Amino acid sequence: MELEYIKIIKTTAQIIHNFIYNNIKLSDQEHATFIAGSLIALQDATFRATYKTDYQNDPDYFVESMMSAIKHSIKSLKGFDIPEKQDIIIAEFDFIGRNEQLKNIVIDEGKEKPAIQALLEKLENIFTLAKTYPEYDILGVFYDQFKKYSASDQQSLGIVLTPYHVSDFMATLLNITPDDVVLDTCCGSSSLLLTAGSKAKYSLGVELNSRMTSISIANMVIKNLPTHLWLGNSFDFDIKNEIRKYHPTKLIINPPYAQQEKELSFVENGLDLLEPNGLGVVIMPVSCANKQDIETKALRKSILSKHTLLASFVMPEQLFAPAVGVNTIICLFKAHVPNENYSTFLGYIKDDGFELSKSEGRIDKNNKWPDIKKEFLDLYNNKQDMNKKSVNAIIKPEAEWSIISYLNIHESVYEDSFFIPYLQQYLMYQIQSGGKVNV
């Protein structure tokens, strides 16, 4: 199934890119938002049933009807019911009505039609896939594919997709049941919430960026998952109080990197919002687990004074390539249980079976990941030490959370590349703090 839907998405993304390039002037960010708005409009049953036949001779009326469908779908979303916030999101789509090129009559498949209608017809495949497979972030995969045809840099759309096999692994660690309420305090396009929330009773998401929230709403509207979304800051007192009313039991986050709020602050804030004994999983830069500056150590100490680090998994170096070149770690916590003398499982998934392809990104050509995933889940569940792969250790309050500090490294069991990021972090810390570096 996965290979088939990816093939459809790649084909559709290329067709839509070429169509927009040849007929319409849209920025990359407008392109992404237009796709979200189109799929939200298609959620309106009346518009979906009539848009192919009713508006060919009046493009202005077509756009007006599409905007009405977007507004109706957003205002019908029960989990996003604050009027002023709805209006902010709806305003993200106003450019559709202002773009005259979308109203131009084009020849598409041998017929004259408004360009905007031709685009919606091409997007129906994506709409159907999103409906059929609620656990997949179809929109995210589509945008990820579109970036390959974009002239902009890889992060121009503001979307860095968490690979599905990673989000699935994170959700598996949470052991989500139909009684769970899943929370993502920095949900972006809701990629992680879709994977985890499809198995839960309810999903909760917070996002600060209104454009990203519009894409998240598109995902939730299309998939009709029980959800509540907040447009705002997850550190906001009022939003936190609202979240607590839902009694979240599971947390899944990929915090924004190198922002004003530290990644570990997102971890602590999210865990604090969970019910006692709830589980939280996070993927973040490995530096958060290893840096020795005062602030990072204090954050690690604060988190472990309240919550237990059940496990950590150092991930492959190129996990987010080519979009982001950062080494990452997945950490699993139990909320509101101090770490104390708990023996934490530390794993090293050096290879997830994926290979970097110039044309397709990272792909699992030989289907290695299912066996690798099972191996590490077995090691974790059995608390098993294995040479080069895992160890169990008691984590001291300010200590590092990754496996490297807890293995016997006197033997040549690691390549130089394993140590490079740690040496870089150490050198940068020494330079920034005015320390002496001996070479």
pLDDT attached to residue 407: 76
State the pTM of this model: 0.84
One-letter-per-residue 3-state SS of the chain: CHHHHHHHHHHHHHHHHHHHHHHCCCCHHHHHHHHHHHHHHHHCHHHHHHCCCCCCCCHHHHHHHHHHHHHHHHHCCCCCCCHHHHHHHHHCCHHHHHCHHHHCEEEECCEEEEHHHHHHHHHHHHHHHHHHCCCCCHHHHHHHHHHHHCCCCCCCCCCCCCCHHHHHHHHHHHCCCCCCEEEECCCCCCHHHHHHHCCCCEEEEEECCHHHHHHHHHHHHHHCCCEEEEECCCCCHHHHHHHHCCCCCEEEECCCCCCCCCHHHHHHHHHHCCCCCCEEEEEEECHHHHCCCHHHHHHHHHHHHHCEEEEEEECCCCCCCCCCCCCEEEEEEECCCCCCCCEEEEEECCCCCCEEECCCEEECCCCCHHHHHHHHHHHHHCCCCECCCEEEEECCCCCCCCHHHHCCCCCCCCCHHHHHHHHHHHHHHHHHCCCCCCC
pLDDT attached to residue 261: 78
pLDDT attached to residue 409: 47
The pLDDT profile of the chain, 439 residues, written as one tens digit per residue, is 455 777 777 788 888 888 888 888 887 778 878 888 998 999 899 999 998 887 767 888 889 999 999 999 888 877 765 666 888 889 999 999 899 998 888 888 888 888 999 899 888 888 888 887 777 777 777 776 666 665 544 444 455 678 888 999 999 999 999 999 999 999 988 889 988 988 899 999 999 988 888 888 888 877 777 889 899 999 999 999 999 999 999 999 999 876 667 899 999 999 999 999 999 999 999 999 999 899 999 999 999 999 999 999 999 988 876 556 688 999 999 999 999 999 999 999 999 998 887 766 788 888 999 999 999 999 999 999 998 899 999 998 889 999 987 876 434 444 555 555 555 555 655 555 555 545 4
pLDDT attached to residue 395: 93
